[in-house]
Amino acid sequence: MNKKKRILICALILLLDLAVFFLPLTAIFLVYVIWQNPPWVREFLQQLDRPGPSA
């Protein structure tokens, strides 16, 4: 996904949320995650995907 598409997705998310709510913090966080793609989010998602110990 190139930078132009990421910015467009982020802008659409913000506009949608602004239409429904008054700038909720979750929308800002989601825009940050999509736009910056921080490594700690990828690591967290990979950790969730790993199989856990059998009980």
pLDDT at 8: 94
The pair of three-digit structure tokens given for residue 53, joined into one six-digit string: 């110990």
Least confident segment among 7-11, 18-22, 30-34, 36-40: 18-22
Whole-angstrom Cα distance, residue 45 to residue 55?
Answer: 22
How much is the average pLDDT of 15-43?
85
pLDDT at 14: 87
CA distances from 35 to 25, 26, 48, 49 (A): 15, 14, 21, 22
Domain locations in the chain as residue ranges: 13-40
The model carries a pTM of: 0.52
The pair of three-digit structure tokens given for residue 43, joined into one six-digit string: 């690591």
CA distances from 7 to 11, 42, 50, 53 (A): 6, 19, 30, 39
